[in-house]
């Protein structure tokens, strides 16, 4: 029977390698078109890789923990379907036989059809009034453990297939205790704190490892931080009128993006022999989630109107916290905004994320008594901001000018409306 390769997918524009985290189907196990077969991660993003045909998983080429280049096979599926490409191509002539793949080299593997290239199954194959819903194996396991009826779960997979994330969303919506669907080893590690054990489940540990790798890399960068208390008094008044409903986070992030556009070196990165510019502005927004800190990227946010940007930030944060963010948003950052103001923090020092040249830390927005030029005390709305800079890219005076430019932008609400 024909064999079809399961390939390492490209989950973002910048992705070159993926790491196999967990196989959901054992060798010899049946798979269905659209079933999740393996969990793959790139940096901080996990994604289920689905089978592209019905058949049997006959060989696993990449074990958990192994890195595989995008487009290379990670497993083989044997299928009874004779013609996976349908009528898209003519049958090969006898003089041009098609050899069945015998190795794991990229050049030996035939191209795998995407799910869109295969015919959609008839209703009787998926969901009928008396047939069980289509669902990937992991989704069925989670649903069984949590006592969730799959018929009540909204599917998001191809051909109305219920995926594991759909079941998790249903569990959260039903306020089911999360521990009831965690693996036994996860429950043990989170409830027991005896010496020598690792805290958290596998996903949270992977995120901590990814964070540790960034911090190890950033420790080698000569970096400094300059501080400025932004005067937001005029903007505070505008937020009762033209900017009503727009968050402080959106306003300050837009001002940061506008500044990066004006300073190519601060929007660039150190290339060893000089500063390499970036053709776009990508602001990574640090978001606190139940699984750890994630930083999805808003691409060219300075080109969005302020209200469109406010909606984009809200939607992106909600998707990240729900574990449904597009993996493509996890790369392409040219600078980072980290805001701890909601926790009551007035000032903190954000570290760089290589190869980004700057990181902006924001404290709480508050009203303070401030002496003006006449020594009179005035009430001012202020926010402590710290701009951390790669010293190979820019100097202290450059950072000071950048913060002064941000203050000029913040002094003119019309610049922020977009």
The residue assigned the tokens 């022999």 is 273
**Predicted confidence (pLDDT) at residue 220 exceeds the cutoff of 90:** no
Among 49-63, 81-95, 236-250, 308-322, the minimum mean pLDDT is found in 81-95
Question: In the structure, what pLDDT confidence band is assigned to residue 124 with cuts at 50, 70 and 90?
Answer: very low
Span 216-226, mean pLDDT? Answer: 89
**Domains of the chain: residue spans and CATH:** 3-119 (2.40.50.100), 222-417 (3.30.559.10)
Mean pLDDT of 318-337: 89
Most confident of 72-81, 107-116, 220-229: 220-229
pLDDT over 60 at 254, yes or no: yes
Helical (H) or strand (E) element with 36: strand 36-42
SS3 content of the chain, % helix, strand, coil (to 5): 30, 25, 45
Nearest residue to 224 (alpha-carbon basis) of 266, 283, 271: 266
Whether residue 401 has pLDDT greater than 80: yes
Q: For residues 72 and 358, which has the higher predicted lDDT (pLDDT)?
A: 358
- pLDDT bin (cut points 50, 70, 90) of residue 346 is very high
Q: What is the mean pLDDT of residues 73-80?
A: 89
- Which residues is 370 bridged to in the sheet? 378
Query: Quick check: 224 and 387 in contact, CB under 8 A?
Result: no
Residues 6+ apart with CB under 8 A from 240: none
pLDDT tens digit sequence for 126-166: 444 456 687 766 677 778 877 888 888 888 765 577 877 78
Look at residue 74 and give its three-state secondary structure: strand
Q: Which of 20-24, 55-59, 108-112, 274-278 has the highest mean pLDDT?
A: 274-278
C-alpha triplet 356, 281, 236: angle, nearest 5°: 100
385, β-bridge pairs: 228, 362
The percent of residues in the chain predicted with pLDDT above 70, rounded, is 78
By C-alpha distance, which of 350, 312, 315, 337 is closest to 253? 337
Note the pLDDT of residue 133: 80
**Residue 417: burial class (beta carbons within 10 Å; 0-12, 13-18, 19+):** middle
CA distances from 269 to 254, 299, 352 (A): 20, 17, 11
Tens digits of residue pLDDT in 284-307: 999 998 878 889 999 999 999 999
Question: Residue 6: pLDDT above 70?
Answer: yes
Give the C-alpha separation, 240 to 96, whole Å.
73
Q: Are 34 and 51 in contact (CB under 8 A)?
A: yes
Sign for the pseudo-dihedral over CA of 126, 127, 128, 133: positive
Q: Is the pLDDT of residue 194 over 60?
A: no
Of 298 and 220, the structure prediction assigns the larger pLDDT to: 298
| Among 188, 172, 312, 324, residue whose Cα is nearest residue 247 | 312
pLDDT at 32 over 90: no
């Amino acid at each position: 029977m024909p064999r079809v390769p399961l390939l390492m997918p490209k989950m973002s524009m910048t992705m070159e390698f993926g790491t196999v985290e967990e196989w959901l189907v054992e060798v010899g196990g049946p798979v269905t078109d659209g079933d999740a077969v393996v969990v793959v991660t790139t940096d901080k993003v996990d994604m289920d890789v689905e089978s592209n045909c019905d058949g049997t998983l006959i060989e696993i080429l990449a074990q958990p923990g192994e890195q595989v280049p995008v487009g290379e096979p990670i497993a083989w599926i044997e299928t009874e379907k004779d013609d996976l490409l349908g009528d898209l191509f003519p049958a090969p002539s006898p003089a041009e036989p098609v050899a069945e793949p015998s190795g794991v080299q990229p050049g030996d593997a035939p191209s795998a059809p995407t799910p869109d290239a295969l015919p959609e199954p008839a209703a009787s194959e998926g969901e009928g009034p008396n047939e069980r819903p289509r669902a990937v194996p992991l989704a069925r396991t989670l649903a069984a453990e949590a006592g969730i009826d799959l018929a009540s779960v909204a599917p998001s997979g191809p051909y109305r297939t219920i995926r594991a994330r759909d079941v998790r969303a249903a569990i959260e919506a039903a306020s089911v205790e999360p521990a009831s669907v965690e693996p036994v080893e996860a429950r043990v590690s989170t409830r027991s704190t005896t010496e020598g054990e690792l805290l958290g489940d596998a996903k949270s540990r992977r995120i901590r490892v990814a964070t540790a790798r960034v911090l190890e890399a950033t420790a080698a960068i000569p970096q400094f931080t300059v501080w400025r208390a932004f005067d937001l008094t005029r903007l505070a008044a505008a937020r009762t009128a033209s900017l009503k409903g727009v968050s402080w986070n959106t306003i300050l992030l837009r001002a940061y993006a506008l500044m990066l556009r004006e300073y190519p070196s601060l929007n660039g990165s150190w290339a060893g022999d000089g500063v390499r510019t970036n053709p776009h502005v990508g602001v990574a927004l640090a978001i606190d989630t139940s699984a750890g800190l994630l930083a999805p990227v808003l691409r060219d946010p300075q080109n969005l109107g302020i209200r469109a940007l406010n909606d984009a930030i809200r939607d992106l944060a909600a998707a990240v916290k729900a574990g449904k963010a597009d993996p493509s948003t996890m790369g392409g950052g040219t600078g980072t905004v980290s805001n701890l103001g909601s926790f009551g923090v007035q000032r903190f020092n954000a570290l760089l994320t290589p190869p980004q040249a700057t990181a902006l830390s924001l404290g709480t927005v508050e009203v303070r008594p401030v002496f003006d030029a006449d020594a009179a005390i005035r009430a001012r709305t202020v926010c402590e901001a710290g701009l951390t800079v790669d010293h190979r890219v820019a100097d202290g005076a450059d950072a000071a000018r950048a913060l002064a430019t941000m203050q000029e932008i913040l002094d003119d609400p019309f610049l922020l409306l977009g």
